[in-house]
C-alpha cells in the first residue's frame, strides 16, 4: 500500500469537505433528530458511495484518456467555475443599476 498516497488523498478530501454542503446537511439533519448516530452512518455511507463512484469513473477515464488531458480538463473546469464566481454577470449589474436608479428617484 502506498501510505503517502493514502495520506495525501485523506488530507485532500478531508480539507475539501470541511464546511461543504454535505457537512451542513448533516448538521441540519442531526439538529432535528434524537439519533445522531443514524445520521452519522447515513451520511458516511453516502460519502463512501459517492467517493467509490468517483474513483471508478476516474479509473475508467484514466484508461481512455491520458492523465495530462484529464488534469487539463479538471483545471479548465475549475477555472471556469472560479471565473463565474468572481466576475459579475451582466444581468446582475444591470439589475443593480435599475435598483439604484429606482432608489434615487
In whole numbers, what is the pLDDT of the chain averaged over residues? 83
| pTM, full prediction | 0.56
pLDDT of residue 29: 87
**For residue 76, how many other CB atoms are within 10 A of its CB?**
10
pLDDT of residue 3 exceeding 80, the answer is yes
Closest CA to 9 of 55, 70, 71, 42: 55
In this structure, the answer to whether residues 48 and 24 fall within a common structural domain is yes
In this structure, the answer to whether residues 47 and 72 fall within a common structural domain is no
Number of domains in the chain: 2
Domain that holds residue 88: 66-105
What are the helix (H) ranges across 1-105? 3-17, 21-31, 36-64, 67-86, 90-104
In this structure, the answer to whether residues 50 and 1 fall within a common structural domain is yes
Q: Please identify which residue in the block is written with the cell numbers 469513473.
A: 57
Residue 39's contacts (CB-CB under 8 Å, 6 or more residues apart) are: 26, 29, 30, 33
pLDDT of residue 27 exceeding 70, the answer is yes
> How far is it, in rounded angstroms, from Cα 66 to Cα 78?
19
In this structure, the answer to whether residues 93 and 43 fall within a common structural domain is no
Mean pLDDT of 22-38: 86
In this structure, the answer to whether residues 83 and 60 fall within a common structural domain is no
> Is the CB of residue 92 less than 8 Å from the CB of residue 84?
no
72-104 pLDDT per residue, tens: 998 999 999 889 889 877 665 555 565 555 555
* DSSP secondary structure code for residue 19 in this structure: T
Amino acid at each position: 500500500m502506498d501510505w503517502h498516497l493514502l495520506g495525501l488523498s485523506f488530507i485532500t478530501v478531508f480539507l475539501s469537505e470541511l464546511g461543504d454542503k454535505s457537512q451542513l446537511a448533516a448538521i441540519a439533519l442531526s439538529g432535528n433528530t434524537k439519533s445522531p448516530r443514524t445520521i452519522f452512518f447515513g451520511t458516511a455511507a453516502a460519502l463512501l458511495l459517492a467517493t467509490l463512484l468517483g474513483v471508478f469513473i476516474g479509473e475508467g477515464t484514466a484508461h481512455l484518456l491520458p492523465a495530462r488531458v484529464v488534469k487539463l480538463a479538471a483545471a479548465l473546469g475549475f477555472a471556469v467555475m472560479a471565473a463565474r464566481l468572481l466576475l459579475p454577470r451582466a444581468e446582475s449589474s444591470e439589475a443593480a443599476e435599475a435598483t439604484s436608479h429606482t432608489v434615487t428617484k
